Amino acid sequence: MNNKKIEECSIMKRIMLVCAAGMSTSLLVTKMEKAAEAQGLESDIFAVSASEADSKLEDASKPVDVLLLGPQVRFMKNQFETKLASTGIPVDVIDMKDYGMMNGEAVLTTALNLMK
């Protein structure tokens, strides 16, 4: 990562992961936090169940910068894109291989690229 990219990413980033129950993604959150720390990035990465996602997105005191869906809820992508179209919050599905391997670094990179 060059200095310009590090500067762009140095502001606190809030990354929300959405999965079916909010449980299976917690390990991935931990791995992403470690990857962010290793890169010197200030971040707030958290996982919620699909049923909790709306209330988290409505909390204006803690705005979300990017929303990533677990592969098991990929069918919700259009729904979230429509909901968030006016906010500019990017939405994408976590790569199934990265999710399965719990590759926190790769998923973090995906999130950062979506925020550019």
| 26-38 helix and 104-114 helix, angle to the nearest 10 degrees | 70
Active site residues: 19
**CA atoms of 22 and 53, how far apart (whole Å):** 10
**Which residue(s) pair with 67 in the sheet?**
16, 91
Q: List Cβ neighbours of 62 (8 Å cut-off, separation of 6 or more).
A: 14, 44, 56
C-alpha distance from residue 28 to each of 58, 71, 82, 108, 113 (Å)? 24, 13, 26, 10, 18
